[in-house]
Amino acid sequence: MSSEKSILRNTFTVGAFTALSRVLGLVREMLQARFIGAGVEQSAFTLAFAIPNMARKLFGEGALTAAFVPVFKGAAESESLERAAKLARSVMTMVLLMLGAMVVVSVGALELVVKFRQELGLTDMKRLTLTIRLVKTLLPYMIFICGAAFGMGVLNSLGRFKASSFMPCLLNFCWIGILAWIAFFPELRLDQRIHRVAMAILVAGAVQMAFLFWRMHVAGVTPRLSFSGWGDAKVRLVWRNLGVAALGAGAIQINYMLDQILAQIASPWAAGVIGYAERLMDLPLGVIGVAFGTVLLPTFAGLFAKGDLDGARGALSSSVRSLMFVMVPAAAGLFVLAPEITRVIYEGKAFDPMATVRVSRALAVYAVGLGFFGLQKSLVPWFQAQNDMKTPLRVSVATVCLNAALNVVAVFALPVEWRHVGLAASTVLCAAVGCLLLVVLARRRNGTTGLSHCVAPVARMGAAAVAMGAAIWFLKPVAARAFSFCGERAGSVVALGALIAVGIAVYGSFAAVFMPDAARALVRKVLRRRGGGEARA
């Protein structure tokens, strides 16, 4: 029980800071939509930014964190913090050197592409030149963000979640700052504006890494380069686990890049539109789903290291119930209010009503999969904490192959205006299949997982969410008429706020009657952040 309370406290801490980051990210996206739009420039930026993000998931908070955290936490608990610190320095040095080499080689390769563009048959030079320029600017960012993500893994292993969950806010501060600066220079072309954004992101990465390294030093793990201990058994274990985890993460990222390429084929605007829809979906997913995934990996690692399988089952069951208590109504709300949310947040200037229609269609489809996306983030750490990287790899490869096939069908079989919706639907379907496979394999590995206790509560949550969605749907035209006197823009904002308030009231009423335990647990989590074991700064 104490473990479950600790998970809730730490999840609330991570969720609170992640919520701040997501709100800042929403402000950032609103500004970017107005000053950059959803055209070719945004699509080029989306593709360029995907490359350092891919590296971050491979060598930062993705595969490396999954491979490193269980070993680091085991060393810290069974030996000493200083022994674990030596392990961290050896792994960090190797990762940073490898990333530096990758940046140098990649920049050289891009220079060759530009030099031999005619021989390669590249004709759309304006678009290609902008994309390559943005990629070259953002490539060094992957060194900074992977260093920062490594610091996150160390701090999370030590139970220090505040600094690591605040770190993404630093990126948003810099990003918002450059977009606000652009507002004072309307004469800048769109390609010039987006390059200024890329440069600000690079600076933000350096700030993020410096901040996390400082917090590591405060926690007793001073980050510095170390060229000793590379042959240590625990270092080799990290790299063995990393190799398997990287294959899974790499398959996902290759599939993501394929999605980006197929989106470019689908239409010139599809990649940017999907990106905007994903940002809206990331608000609830990041606040709750990512928070649980962040906390559960070190929690499971500690429980499995002690041989406490029952404790791990209880932690998983409790976490999934808490996760779905928020995710299910959020999915219903996003599905019903997709056009209104998109219009209020994005529409204006370079982001026209047609872009609103396109983004809202993708958002409604993504909303259907919100619970699956969140559940995946809770199930994968179950295996990673047991140093089992192969099971998530097998599931990733299976879903990646399915997703690639479905995406090709969507791009070449659907009408132009619906191809991006097909790409989103493929992602949702594959997330559902992935969750099913993970649950089956978890039961095969460990016997019961405790998830059977979640079926009835989640069904009640689904019924309450349907009632909430129906109430919002019927009240949408009423709210639009009732607040029309405020003007078009202000009326849309007020009407959306009123509909969200109605949705919360309806779902809360159902929860109080049919899910009192879950409702009380959420209230306690919000009101009781004090007490022993709370996450430290």
Residue pLDDT, tens place only, 40-52: 788 888 888 888 8
Alpha-carbon distance of 291 to 286, in angstroms, equals: 7
Amino acid (1-letter code) at residue 439: V
Most confident of the ranges 149-163, 269-283, 453-467, 483-497: 453-467
Q: Which residue has the higher pLDDT, 79 or 421?
A: 421
Examine residue 309 and state whether it is found in any structural domain, yes or no.
yes
Give per-residue pLDDT as tens, 302-322. 788 777 888 888 888 888 888
* Residue 474, pLDDT score: 93
Distance CA 221, CA 232 (A): 18
pLDDT for residue 482 is more than 60: yes
Predicted local distance difference test score (pLDDT) of residue 394: 87
Residue 208 confidence (pLDDT) above 90: yes
DSSP 3-state of 466: helix
Q: Is the pLDDT of residue 432 over 90?
A: yes
Percent of the chain topping pLDDT 90: 23
Q: 239 or 200: whose pLDDT is higher? A: 200
pLDDT higher for 395 or 125? 395
DSSP string, 511-524: HHHH-HHHHHHHHH
Higher pLDDT, 119 or 469: 469
DSSP, res 6: H
At 536 the pLDDT is: 35
Q: What is the pLDDT of residue 464?
A: 92
Task: Identify the pLDDT of residue 119.
Answer: 57
Torsion angle of the four alpha carbons 34, 36, 37, 42, in this order, in degrees rounded to the nearest 10: -150
pLDDT at 165 over 50: yes
Residue count of the chain: 537
Token digits of residue 442: 């978890």
Which pLDDT band, with edges at 50, 70 and 90, does 215 fall under? very high
Residue 519 pLDDT level (bands cut at 50, 70, 90)? low
Q: How far is CA 132 from the centre of its chain?
A: 25
| Cα 432 from Cα 375, distance rounded (Å) | 9
Report yes or no on 536 lying in a domain.
no
Top-confidence residue, 346 or 124: 346
Question: Scanning the structure block, which residue is given the tokens 């200024």?
Answer: 196
Residue of higher predicted confidence among 26 and 189: 189
For residue 518, pLDDT beyond 50: yes
Per-residue model confidence (pLDDT) at position 530: 42
Residue 185 lies in a domain: yes
Mean pLDDT of the chain: 82
Quote the CA–CA distance of 69 and 155 in Å, as a whole number. Answer: 10
382-406 per-position pLDDT tens digit? 888 887 888 888 898 888 889 888 9
Residue pair 283/420 in contact (Cβ under 8 Å)? The answer is no
Whether residue 535 is contained in a domain is answered as: no
pLDDT (mean) for 141-160: 86
Contact 8, 521 (CB under 8 A): yes
Task: Give Dmax (Cα) for the chain.
Answer: 71
Distance CA 236, CA 232 (A): 6
Interhelix angle 125-138/190-218, rounded to 10 degrees, is 20
pLDDT over 70, % of the chain: 88
Question: Which of 242-256, 277-291, 470-484 is least confident?
Answer: 242-256
Q: Which of 67-71, 183-187, 407-411, 500-504 has the lowest mean pLDDT?
A: 67-71
Does the pLDDT value for residue 439 go beyond 70? yes
Evaluate whether residue 74 is within a structural domain.
yes
Q: Which two tokens stand for residue 353?
A: 């009503």
**pLDDT confidence of residue 72:** 83
Which pLDDT belongs to residue 42?
Answer: 83
Q: What pLDDT is stored for residue 531 in this prediction?
A: 44
Residue 215 domain-assigned?
Answer: yes
Whether the Cβ atoms of residue 212 and residue 60 lie closer than 8 Å to each other: no
Give the number of domains in the chain.
Answer: 1
What backbone torsions phi and psi does residue 220 show, to the nearest 5 degrees?
100, 10
pLDDT, tens digit, for every residue of 7-46?
667 777 777 787 788 788 878 888 888 888 877 788 888 8
Give the model's pLDDT for residue 365. 92
Alpha-helix runs per DSSP H in 285-385: 291-305, 309-346, 353-368, 370-384
Beta strands in 6-145 (DSSP E): none
Own/partner pairs, 222-226, CB within 8 angstroms, 24+ separation:
222/85, 223/88, 223/89, 223/92, 223/151, 224/89, 225/89, 225/92, 225/93, 225/96, 226/86, 226/89, 226/90, 226/92, 226/93
Domain hosting 23: range is 2-527
Confidence of residue 537 (pLDDT cuts 50, 70, 90): very low
Residue 338: inside a domain: yes
Q: Which of 85-89, 342-346, 418-422, 473-477 has the highest mean pLDDT?
A: 473-477
CA dihedral sign, ordered 255, 11, 496, 331: positive
CA dist., res. 462 & res. 346, Å (int): 29
pLDDT of residue 224: 86
Strand partners, 351: 348
- pLDDT of 204: 94
Q: Report the chain's C-alpha Rg in angstroms.
A: 23
Neighbours of 194 (CB within 10 A): 25
Residue range 229-255: mean pLDDT, rounded:
73
Average pLDDT over residues 197-213: 94
What are the CA-CA distances from residue 370 to residues 97, 332, 412, 430 (Å)? 37, 9, 26, 12
CB 22, CB 283: distance < 8 Å: yes
**What is the reported pLDDT for 335?**
95
Whether pLDDT at 162 is above 60: yes
Quick check: is 98 in a domain?
Answer: yes
Q: Inform me whether the pLDDT recorded for 74 exceeds 80.
A: no
Question: 365: which residues sit within 8 A by CB, 6+ positions away?
Answer: 421, 424, 425, 428
Give the type of residue at 215. R
Q: Does 87 or 514 have the greater pLDDT score? A: 87
Q: What is the pLDDT of residues 419-428, one digit of tens each?
A: 889 988 998 9
| Beta carbons of 89 and 226 less than 8 angstroms apart | yes
Backbone φ and ψ for 351, nearest 5 degrees, come out as -100, 105
User: Residue 156: is its pLDDT beyond 90?
Assistant: no
